[in-house]
Structure 1
Amino acid sequence: MQKFPDLSETDMAVYQVHVTTPSLSACQISELLGLPVERVEEAKEMLRTAQLLQPALGDGWVAVSPDTAADILLADAEQAMLDQNSQIAAVRARLGTWTVAYLEARSMRSVKDRIEVIEGIDGIRAVIDDLARTCEKSIDAMVPGGGQSVRAIKAAIPLDLATLERGVAIRTLFQHAARNHRATTQYAETICAGGAQVRSTSLLPSRMLIYDDAAAVIPLDQENTAAGAVVIRDPAVLRLLSHLFTSHWERAIDFAAYDRQEDNKPTDLELAVLRLMAAGKKDEAIARQIGLSGRSTSRVIAGIMERLEATNRFQAGVRATLKGWLP
């Protein structure tokens, strides 16, 4: 796909003349707009590159709508995307035929190994990915220390949002120190918008993940979590770990509570949504731009409306401006 030209206000003026009076020559447009003929010809060339001017049946050029120009300009790229999506769907379908065999083997492993040792970071990631994608009810995460690495956060967000979309409940416990890490704070905001619950407390004993109260993952070495992990499926040990998580969860506070108590300002995510709302964007467009599902975006918007005590978007914009949230 060719690069879209950087159109100016002059190009726009020439385009509008072509829309209203298609028969005018470059000289006539030059006189009408008070522009040099060379600038008019340059604008017409820019418009042709943007597909906004198309050859007329007889002679000259005719202006077309931006939607038509987009169809012409993006046709090849959209076809390439369609072909790529078809290939992706075919690969998924072929791999899907292996699902029954995989689940059967996995269930046999779960019954056999109540305590399983996983070595190496790649093995740990594979197990966590497997448990996250196959759990059905809940994921409880205990994350000690301060902020998490940006790389780990980027990898976690799409998996967590997809898990929430399946209706799986996610509860995540951080330490208060994580509040000072911007990327971790944004991660908490993002998954909360997707329906997760995130809290923080002063101290946590261990990194831990519990899936459906049926499997737990804890590191072999708390100081070097990449060295290996233990997957626990023993019911007695799981009950103990679930009780440990619950006791810390009940004493923790909402991750955003401190910020809200300070000045009740909106989060970065809420500010982004507010700006898009003020720009007149619909829910679907907002969801695409912030990278959330439609349901999660609606939840964020509803929360904003409730905080502003607004009954419509215009009223929300006015009140957000009065509060100094919007310029």
Structure 2
Amino acid sequence: MFDLLGLSAQHETIYRAMLQRPDLNVAGLAEHLGVPRDQVSEALDVLADLALVRLAPQGDQARAVRPQAGLTALLARVEAEVAVRQRQVEETRAAIAAIATAHDECHQVTEGRVLDGVDSVRDRLVELAHAARSECLSFTTGAAQSPDTMEAEAPLNQQALQRGVRIRNVYQESLRNDPGTLAHARWMTRLGGQSRTTPTLPMRMVIVDRATALVPLDPGNPRQGALELRSPGVVAGLIALFEQVWLSATPFGEQAAADEQGLTPQERELLRLLSAGHTDESAARKLAVSLRSVQRMMTSLTERLGATSRFQAGVRAADRRWV
């Protein structure tokens, strides 16, 4: 119990015995506890060094110091050492931040820098996760995250939340169909993260401390890399985009509510995509669902509209202001 104070289990046992039986000398303690006398003597030397006992001049008798004084003093010393260590950690963290800032200033332009390839993006996200102090906002596109990605992100997210960083993430509605991503989102919610879902997202995006944003070089192929942006005006615009999507998204754990026409957000978004000229295939990619799911939704919508063809369904959806 008192390892932190420098006491082994045997030291603690002997100290407790001395408090209970102050009349016992070294030989009496050894007999009382059933341990060799030399072990008691060695333990008393350690306890004396820790100022928990006072040895008599002849060395055969010792008196235990009251725990309110002895143990409390030891704890205070440990707390002081921890405080010094914490200051050293913070100073080291500040030094790392200063070196990182100097490095960034030497290797990037004011507006941002290019991160080539997925590995560069992942490395930069790790750096930003360690540096985050107040907030992390993100869009996560696609129906599922890879197990490797979630496993790598989990400890970083947990550490950030424990430091008091507020994490908000918007997933696509289709994540509810992937057990692994769904379990990860639930785990994040239990830790204090906030998640919402929406049918479509404009792109992947991460914003840290309202100062640094990462967006894909090609929204259609995030593996090409990302652009790191620091321009206050650009970052402010991306934050506004996030907040707009966040307000209209469905809080995680709640079922997406149907609107006054009985349409779910995913159904309404599908109709919007098709009316804008998307094919079933491209609409499926935007919604991060299978082609069969899109066709199944359209069959259901066509039946509810009482239509016999896609064209007639489109006309009736417009008449009813579904699109």
> TM-score under structure 1 normalisation?
0.47
Structure showing greater radius of gyration is 2
> TM-score under structure 2 normalisation?
0.48
